[in-house]
Amino acid sequence: MERKKMKKIIAFCIAFMLSVLATSLVHAAQDQYPGDSSIYGVQAPLQPNVLIIIDNSGSMTGKVPGGSYNPATTYSVVNKCYSSTSRSNNQPCLANAVYRVGSDTDKTADGYVNSSVNNISTSCNGVNPRTILQTTGFYSGRKLSNDGTSCSTRRTGSYAVGNFINYLNSPGAGDVQKIVVAKDVIKNLLTSTNNVKFGLMQYYYTSSYTSGAKGGELVTTASVPGAIGTTYTAEVKKMEDIFTGTITNRTALLKAVDEITPDGYTPLGETLFEAGRYFSGGAPAFGASNGVSGGTYTSPVENTCQKHYIVFVTDGMATADDSATLKTICTNGDCDADGVEPGDLQHSMDDVAKYLNTQLSYNGKTLDIVTFTIGFGLSGADADAVALLTRTANPTHGKGGYFAANSQTDLSAAFTTIMTQIFSVNSSYVAPVVPVSPQNRTYGGSRIYMGFFKPSSTNWLGNLKKFGVDASTNIVDANGNFATWEDIDGDGFDDRPPNATLPTGTVNGSFRTTSKSFWSTVTDAGEVDDGGVGALLAARTASTRNIYTLTPTGTSLIPLNSTSSGTYVITPAMLSVADTTESAALIKFIYGEDAYDENGDSDVTETREWVMGDILHSRPVIVNYSSYTFNTTNESTCTTNKSVIYVGSNDGMLHAFNDCDGSEAWSFVPPEVLPYLQNVNDENNSYYVDSTVSTYIYDKDKDGNIEAADDDKVILMFGIRRGGGTAAAPSGGAYYVLDVTNPASPAFLWKVTNTSPTSGSPATPVFSELAETWSEPKLVKMNVGGTYMITAVVGAGYDNANEDGRYGATQTFPTTATGVAPTETGAEAVTSAGTSGPSSPKGRGIYVIKLATLASTGVPTVATSPTKIWSYVYGATAATTASGITDPTMTFSIPSEISAIDTKNTGFADILYAADTGGNIWRFDVGNTSTALWTGKKIFSSNPGSGGSSDKGRKIFYKPSVVTEPGYRLIYFGTGDREHPLNSNVVDRMYALKDPGTITSTKTETDLVDVTSDALQTTTVASGVGSVADLLSKLNDSTKFGWYIKLDQNVGEKVLSPPMVFNKVAFFTTYAPGASSTDPCVAGNLGTSRLYALNYRTGEAVSNYDTSNDTGTAPNKRASYAGGGILARSDRVKTTGSGIPSGVVVLITPGGQTKLLTGVGGAIAGEVAPPGGTIMPLYWRQK
């Protein structure tokens, strides 16, 4: 599977920095704070092993177009750069100036840094960017500050001097020997690449050359300047480590590259075989001695989770490549069972690559070595060589990729792409979505949808993929084969026959590399930039897309590229760009055209290599517009399967995809994000439509078919999270309402912001407290003054300008909220400064908004404008009216979804629960038909906790889950600062709060029972104080209002997803930053994700997750596990992988089979559902 080439990103400076531009272009700086994505800014401490094998056969004396960069040469200036005052990359590339670029083959600058390389930082993580730029013209490593005088501790970037960009655009310096070009490119790679261990191998010859080349050998040199006579062997090593004296391995390896001379044959398979011997610490296979001690190599493998790569550069077909040693692997060397070997060992290279990837082991662990091949200067006559190299690196053999290179530029580009793939990460935050079946609306369907993102130091890529679910709840691919590895018991073997061993680095739920998602033509598995809707968009003619937007004052959707008298209706001012040339290019780029020629082929009308933006926080929502008999034929027939998938992404838009074939029906760009589209590919990942839609679906005759003629309705309502938000206070956002009853023709109805609508005289904004719109609308039925209504209940949002600057053990804020830089803050055990209240705060409260009124027949009349029914918001003084309540104690923002409960089973919501960023739980009683009698109250505060006045700083970002018991409701929630995931200065909690409906004063942890130690399952006291009976009596005491668990065993552990209760078990997922582990193989940088399974009434362990404590006798009966074993505190939790996990969702098949699913690190982790009577969380689902 060939992955996408590294992209050239067109970047624009942020608007507030450009005071020289016209006033009409000035917009408040976009909110680009990384928040939870900051976990991807940490470099891996365990560097990957990369062995470069360079062909030093005689044919490498042939010539290709080349000519390496010479810093002493001043190249002709091209107009492809920015300046300190221009936002267009059509300015002269000044030789000594420094610019941002996408790669070392990028012929156009992506941004301006500094007028002189002499001003650039000299120290970034042990590397000197200034010297590298001065000597090679290009630097890639730790991200530099805006002016290049300092560098980031976490993010990465690429930079070049103007002279280097001019060089890339200059005509070739004549033909040069391939060996010279290869050595130049490799040296540039070694000089500019950090955080990678490199080694170098060439073909091995005996001293007389009488038998030609046999296998490979590590390159050596005894000519390192400053260490003449001391031999350096090019084993795979850390480049920054010392070789001798003050000379680094990097310096020595650069000299070793110079020592390579071409002569002899091309033993491709034998050399790759020798590389395997080296990685596994075996004996040399063909007599080489370099790097050999005691008859064996010293393996470069440091840890079992380390990644290993071979990059093989060659210019021809295998020759003298027929040693019988190649038959010692697999069956006579035929590892892929294609029958070519053992009769023709000249074609064994692909078999060796397969062996290295699937069978070669070290210390009992398969190494999974990935092999890349580069065919350098191969002509059409070398078709056999191209075929062999392609097969060697394909998905069923080496799993890297084949690259053709016919010039120095091609070779550089190939290495750049390979290194990009080595550093890439595929991931997902959102939970897998299991929609209801189009045939039976009671059970879950047999499909799963997942949004993906791939973090990058430049733009983030995204995708949406669809997989299947079989009758046994297995996740399957388009061919019906297992799509994921399932290892629920964690023993390292798949739980299903034939119980295959999991490949190194995979976890429960990881995608199998052989799986193919629906809509895909390739085996794309969980790869973000292959298959899925993303591949379909990339294959589509960009101009044929249906992309809609609104003008800032518009009331009807228009195409984004609408014109009037030959000019775009969306003006440069609306896009915050300088002129119509820039606005035209940006609009075409958003459609997917290669408007900035990112691949350098001079074609600016073709579709970009990848168009889909990252799906970070938006869950796909599937709406079934037709009822049909579910089978694969009907599902893939668009006239039968009319289901549509709605999902937001950070390419600027809400997308609507047809489920039948994955094609995009249309997309919508909210006008709030128009001024920031210029940042869509900025090096700081930007946010646009980053939230999930809520749907109101009315099917009058309940036939499963949405028909406008029957008065049926489908209404979407959604916020945009950080999209459209500003870095400085006061920020804001918007909620949009679209009529998609006809999914092919969406209609704009209205929107809500904190400036419109207005009422009164003078006009006052009705929703003035609205902040960034993080709270997903809860659509519920309510009885308002005797009129039945469909309402949207939302939290007033996230107060980003204040909360992003508050982290650690504090409830107070910095003095001013002037905006937080787009870099991660608050990592590790630190607390933000400041003892003030928030500055120009927003988001403090909830709103109830009318969506539709219902006739006596149930037919809805959808509201034509936003109307507030009721609000409960902050006010300097307490006041109550029919339209709302102001409360001076409502001082923190509410970004979470609201929980709505129908406690009387009347069909109307009468209780609302909300959580705020101050760690508080609020209850709102809204059952009376008179809104004047609606009330609200803070019923619990987690701050300060049981540890005293300093035990504070807990925040809540997700809705509580509510279960009804006789006489009370249990409210489950967890605390955790989602936007500072790397902070470790707060001990967060998991709570079960008992609400009998009569709480009159705010409860704290002193009113709850601390069950952290799981004493119920560990006590040995038979009676009296401390006994099981005593502990249970405390939990049932009328003066106690639930229980809580301190997350005090893993530093910085926090709950960053909503809990879920199923069959008397409360499930919580947690994230702990990587600093909690010194083992680089324990998800070090992405942190550790965990799943907790707790008795919903007592917090005890219910599953035997920890089998290491099963010896001995159970302390009491409650500690005895029904399936055998002992239950204790450690049995509450299991590690599920790395990254921030989603909440748990329940999969129920039409046959009644159940499984619990969690999205974690790009995988779909399954868990056995607990048996017993079903206790589901109460929530409101409006159809």
What would the DSSP string read from start to end of 705-746?
Answer: ---GGGT-EEEEEE--BTTT-BSSSS----EEEEE-SSTTS-
Q: What is the mean pLDDT of residues 857-870?
A: 96
Most confident segment among 122-131, 366-375, 965-974: 965-974
The mean pLDDT of 602-609, rounded to a whole number, is: 87
The answer, yes or no, to whether residue 665 has pLDDT greater than 90, is yes
Q: Please give the residue range of the domain that contains residue 121.
A: 68-171
Q: Find all residues with CB under 8 Å of 811, minimum gap 6, and list them.
A: 918, 943, 952, 953
Q: Which residues, 6 or more positions from 462, have their beta carbon under 8 angstroms from its beta carbon?
A: 451, 452, 453, 454, 528, 534, 612, 613, 614, 615, 616, 649, 650, 651
Residue 1033 lies in a domain: no
- In a domain? residue 77: yes
End-of-domain residue from the set 359, 390, 423 = 423
In a domain, 445, yes or no: no
Q: What is the pTM of this model?
A: 0.76
Same domain, 167 and 85: yes
- Three-class SS string for 131-168? HHHHHHCEEEEEEECCCCCCEEEEEEEEEEEHHHHHHH
Is 278 among the domain residues? Answer: yes
Side chain identity, residue 324 = A
**Structural domain tally of the chain?**
2
Alpha-carbon distance of 801 to 758, in angstroms, equals 24
199-216 pLDDT tens trace: 999 999 865 444 456 889
Residues 141 and 180 in one domain: no
How many Å apart are CA 428 and CA 488, to the nearest integer?
20
Other CB atoms within 10 Å distance of the CB of residue 115: 16
237 shares a domain with 181:
yes
Same domain, 348 and 391: yes
Nearest to 916 by CA among 995, 996, 973: 973
Other CB atoms within 10 Å distance of the CB of residue 440: 13
Tell me: the pLDDT tens digits for 635-645? 999 999 999 99
Residues 900 and 971: their CA atoms lie apart, in Å, by: 12
Write the DSSP symbol of residue 395. Answer: T
Mean pLDDT of 964-981: 96
Other C-beta atoms within 10 Å of 736: how many? Answer: 24
CATH number of the domain enclosing 298 = 3.40.50.410
821 confidence band (pLDDT: 50, 70, 90) = low
Angle between helices 249-258 and 178-192 (to 10 degrees): 180
Structural domain includes residue 364 = yes
Surface-to-core class of residue 1024, CB atoms within 10 Å of its CB (0-12 exposed, 13-18 middle, 19+ buried) = exposed
Those residues with Cβ within 8 angstroms of residue 202's Cβ, 6 or more apart along the chain or in another chain: 53, 54, 55, 56, 216, 217, 219, 260
Q: Taking all residues of the chain, what is their mean pLDDT, rounded to a whole number?
A: 88
Is 676 or 1179 the better-scoring residue by pLDDT? 676
pLDDT of residue 1077 exceeding 80, the answer is no
Q: Give the C-alpha separation, 548 to 561, whole Å.
A: 8
The last residue of a domain, from among 153, 171, 189: 171
Question: 848 with 863: CB under 8 angstroms?
Answer: no
Q: Is residue 100 part of a domain?
A: yes
pLDDT band at 794 (very low <50, low <70, confident <90, very high): very high
Q: Residue 58: pLDDT band by 50, 70, 90 thresholds? A: confident
Phi, psi (deg, nearest 5) at residue 697: -120, 125
The mean per-residue pLDDT over the stretch 400-406 comes to: 87
Q: What is the pLDDT of residue 334?
A: 87
pLDDT in tens, 137-187: 998 877 888 889 988 655 667 899 999 999 888 865 556 788 888 898 899
Among the listed ranges 354-363, 371-380, 695-704, which one has the minimum average pLDDT value? 371-380
Q: Is the same domain home to 155 and 184? A: no
The C-alpha angle 453, 1083, 1085, rounded to 5 degrees, equals: 70
Shared domain for 310 and 162, answered yes or no, is no
Residue 96 sits in the same domain as residue 186: no
What is the average pLDDT across 783-787?
97
Q: What is the pLDDT of residue 44?
A: 43
- Indicate whether 110 and 191 sit together in one domain: no
Q: Of residues 824 and 515, which shows the higher confidence score?
A: 515
For residues 147 and 260, membership in a common domain is answered with: no
Mean pLDDT confidence for 936-942: 98
Average pLDDT over residues 462-488: 94
> Among 201-210, 296-305, 736-745, 874-883, where is mean pLDDT lowest?
201-210
Helix (H) or strand (E) holding 277: helix 268-279
Does residue 318 contact residue 346 with C-beta atoms inside 8 Å?
yes
Compute the distance between CA of residue 489 and CA of residue 492 in angstroms, rounded to an integer. 8
Cα distance between residue 743 and residue 739, in whole Å = 9
Percentage above 70 pLDDT, the chain: 90
For residues 336 and 349, membership in a common domain is answered with yes
Q: What angle do CA 152, 157, 161 make, to 5 degrees?
A: 110
pLDDT at 1093 over 80: yes
Q: Which of 962, 940, 1155 is nearest to 508 (CA)?
A: 1155
pLDDT at 195: 81
Q: With DSSP H G I counted as helix, E B as strand and the rest as coil, what are the percentages for the chain, rounded to 5? A: 15, 30, 55
Instruction: Tell me the two tokens of residue 1079.
Output: 């083992």
Burial class of residue 19 (count of CB atoms within 10 Å of its CB; 0-12, 13-18, 19+): exposed
Alpha-carbon distance of 775 to 777, in angstroms, equals 6
Q: What confidence score (pLDDT) does residue 796 get?
A: 98
**Is residue 161 included in any domain, yes or no?**
yes
Same domain, 161 and 310: no
Whether 112 maps to a domain, the answer reads yes
> Number of C-alpha atoms within 13 angstroms, CB side, residue 505?
18
% of the chain surpassing 90 pLDDT? 65
Q: Do 211 and 133 fall into the same domain?
A: no
Inform me whether the pLDDT recorded for 545 exceeds 60: yes
Mean pLDDT of 829-848: 94
Residue 395: CB atoms within 10 A of its CB come to 18
DSSP E strand stretches across 169-218: 175-177, 197-205, 213-218
Burial of 246 (0-12, 13-18, 19+ CB in 10 A): exposed
